[in-house]
Amino acid sequence: MIRKPHKLTLMTALTSLLLSNSAVAATAEETKQFDLDTVVVTATKTEKSIKDVPAAVTVITAEDMKKSNVRTLSDALRNVPGLYIKEQSGMKGTKISIRGLSQNRVLFLQDGMPLNNGYTGGPQWSGIPIDSIERVEIIRGPFSALYGSSAMGGVVNIITKEAAKPETTVTAGTGTNGTHSQTFSHNGVEGKLEYYLNYSKNDTDGYILNPANPDEGKFGSDNKQYSGKIIYHINATDKLIISKGRSEGTYQYSIKTDRGNRTNETLKVGYQAKLAPDKMLNFRFSELNFSDYWTITGKNYNTNPVKTREGEVNLNWKINPNNTLTVGVSSKVDKCDGKTYLLTNPRDISSINKLLERSGGKTTTNSIYFQDEMEFTPQTTMLVGGRYDNWKFTNGYNLAGSMQKKSENNFSPKASLLFKADASTTWYASAGKSFSSPSIFNLSRRWDVTRTLLLPNPDLKPEKANSYELGVTHKVSPNTTAKVSVFQNNVTDMIYQSFIRMLTADKQELQWKNAGKAEIKGIELELNHKFSPETSGYINYTHNNSKITANSDTTLVGKQVPTVPKDAFNIGFTYQHEKLTANLEGRYLSRTYESDNNTEPANGYGAYEPFFVVDTKFSYRFTPDTAISLEVSNLFDRQYYRETLAAGRTVFVELTQKF
């Protein structure tokens, strides 16, 4: 039986430890001001220190990722307050939620380029080598006023490296479950040209997902990523940026029939020009192409190629010393042509027997937005903005025939107020509206699986939310920073799989409908403390009370929103002295449901019980160019289920060499 920690007792003890004065206190001169002076761009589309942003912001730097157990972007995000990451087997990808809003309600970007899959709406970041990342900016709260659809819960912007220095880095690692990794990166400068090249390969045999039935298989995979970027500095202020990436992933998550492949390619062209000392023009064109995207489930071969093209132009204009205006226009097109075939031999994708389903279409979103930042006094700043989006669904079809065109208009306003009470304390408040458009899958795909027939609904409307937030950042001492955020999201027109009828004794018919409402209330607490010049720590806690408040199925009213843990906290310590770096992190998640009716499968398999796990990493740098690291995940070998059995204790050793 898995023991459940008493949350309040454990949190009190850990917080006391963080604030303990038994460690040697660092002087203000020795202590970095944590992240309050870190410059971010995602929250306002302008460069601004975190302390001047009226929102809950977390920044994860490349240095942060090196210190902790991070080999994927999911690893990097899992300890962020308000954010829930759940890895799934095979091609199901990664489930993510921010403040109770999941999947297509969270916008993922790479250097401003959308990464959400145009077919399902979920985020896809597998094509980004970790070594190419400079930092990740996580902005929690509604941001449709700047970013449109999918930014209901927040925005995650993965920013790749710039300011190259000539350097080549090679790493090689091996670990539990037949896990191996190799990476290569090379950066350089030739006159006005910077260039970056990255390659990584990661493969694992995986582990048994269901000990009660080992024949169901292992969670194995083989992934490769390639990326390149060039930056040409036209002059001291203007530059051209071109980047290209490719990811190839093969999944072997069942001995019997289930397997898949995902190949996606990215292209981005950007241009930045300083038109005047107070005017900056930004242009971007990007393409995300899932060129080879298929799965085999049972005897069905499903292929879902998706292509997204997007362009944006914006202007940042400092009208006067106290007023900065941001205006922009953007256009985004998603196209998909999905097919399902019956296979005579489930192990052979060439044994196609007949076409079972075909569906797809095109969505187009044209947008215009503005944001006005007004500094009333040195202590008080207000941001007011809004975005108008025109969304269209055209060329829709499935085997039942073609679908009528559909168009929706959305206006998403937002207002935020920042007040600096004194040198140590900053308050902010915000209110805004946001939305998330239905996906092509929701609109057109007829999905027939073993026990469910899921019907599309071309009449779906966008989900909408009214959101409110109040927060404060307080510098308790030169060594300690505390943050508190209180938030509420009222969501309407939630898209649900609504019951239609029973087709047979064990097979039901469902259809996507705007059938639900939800109320999401929560609080986030963060504490960072510097014990000494060598030792630092953090703790954060999130309480998220997410309830279904209305649904066409009245039995769901009052139930917990799926894929949202009610309580979560994370704690971490880092010790860095001369050549040695040691990191220890723990995370707790309360019970989480995957079903709307909050039921769990029998026999414990697939249950989502609470758990607390600890990870650690030790790194030793022999020379400035040579280092070795040891990572231990799930240090105490805790057994728990999150859809399937999670991996037990794993060990990974990696050697890094720079030239």
Note whether 230 and 194 are within 8 A (CB): yes
Q: What is the pLDDT of residue 496?
A: 84
C-beta contacts of 35-39 below 8 A and 24+ residues apart? 35/59, 35/528, 36/473, 36/475, 36/481
User: What number is the average pLDDT over the span 68-89?
Assistant: 84
Rg of the chain in Å (alpha carbons): 25
User: What number is the average pLDDT over the span 634-647?
Assistant: 83
Could you tell me the CA-to-CA distances from 188 to 167, 196, 197, 539, 566 in Å, in that order? 7, 7, 9, 38, 47
Question: Of 76-90, 209-223, 253-267, 614-628, which one has max mean pLDDT?
Answer: 614-628
Q: What is the pLDDT of residue 127?
A: 67
pLDDT per position as a tens digit, 255-271: 555 578 888 899 999 99
User: What number is the average pLDDT over the span 51-71?
Assistant: 91
Which residues on adjacent β-strands are paired with residue 504? 507
Q: Is the pLDDT score of 110 beyond 50?
A: yes
Q: Is the pLDDT score of 350 beyond 90?
A: no
pLDDT per position as a tens digit, 524-546: 999 999 999 999 999 999 999 99
Q: What is the pLDDT of residue 498?
A: 86
Judging by beta carbons within 10 Å of its beta carbon (0-12, 13-18, 19+), is residue 404 exposed, middle or buried?
Answer: exposed
Q: What is the pLDDT of residue 15?
A: 47
User: What number is the average pLDDT over the span 205-228?
Assistant: 81
pLDDT per position as a tens digit, 430-467: 999 999 999 999 999 998 877 888 999 999 999 999 99
User: What number is the average pLDDT over the span 304-331?
Assistant: 95
CATH 3.40.50.2020 fits 7-658, yes or no: no
Cα dihedral 545→550→551→555 (10° resolution): 70
pLDDT per position as a tens digit, 282-317: 999 999 998 888 888 778 888 989 999 999 999 999
User: What number is the average pLDDT over the span 354-365?
Assistant: 93
Q: What is the pLDDT of residue 390?
A: 97
Q: How confident is the model at residue 254 (pLDDT cuts 50, 70, 90)?
A: low
The two structure tokens encoding residue 328: 């922009």
Give the Cα separation of 417 and 47 in Å (integer). Answer: 18
Q: What is the pLDDT of residue 71?
A: 83
- Provide the total of helices (H) and of strands (E) in the chain, helices listed first: 5, 38
pLDDT per position as a tens digit, 572-585: 999 999 999 999 99
Position with higher pLDDT, 162 vs 127: 162
User: What number is the average pLDDT over the span 601-622?
Assistant: 78
User: Could you give phi then psi for residue 176, rounded to 5 degrees?
Assistant: -60, 155
pLDDT per position as a tens digit, 582-608: 999 999 999 888 777 777 654 444 457
The two structure tokens encoding residue 365: 């979103």
The two structure tokens encoding residue 38: 């870190």
For 31: left if phi > 0, alpha if psi spans -120 to 50, otherwise beta; the answer is beta
Q: What is the pLDDT of residue 599?
A: 75
Could you tell me the CA-to-CA distances from 651 to 12, 308, 572, 618 in Å, in that order? 30, 38, 19, 12
Q: Is the pLDDT score of 19 beyond 80?
A: no
Question: Residue 356: which of 448, 443, 294, 261 has the closest Cα?
Answer: 448
User: What number is the average pLDDT over the span 316-341?
Assistant: 95
* Residue percentage of the chain with pLDDT more than 90: 64
DSSP run (H or E) holding 374: strand 352-377
Which residues does 149 contact at the CB level (< 8 Å), separation at least 6? 107, 365, 389, 391, 410, 435, 436, 437, 462
User: What number is the average pLDDT over the span 70-90?
Assistant: 82
Q: What is the pLDDT of residue 5?
A: 43
The two structure tokens encoding residue 388: 């108008």
Average pLDDT, rounded, for the chain = 87
Give the Cα separation of 464 and 448 in Å (integer). Answer: 29
Give the Cα separation of 445 and 306 in Å (integer). Answer: 14
Give the Cα separation of 476 and 527 in Å (integer). Answer: 10
Q: What is the pLDDT of residue 655?
A: 96
Q: What is the pLDDT of residue 12?
A: 47
pLDDT per position as a tens digit, 456-506: 999 999 999 999 999 999 999 999 999 999 999 999 999 988 889 999 988
Q: What is the pLDDT of residue 199?
A: 94
* Residue percentage of the chain with pLDDT more than 70: 90
Give the number of other CB atoms < 10 A from CB of residue 411.
Answer: 12
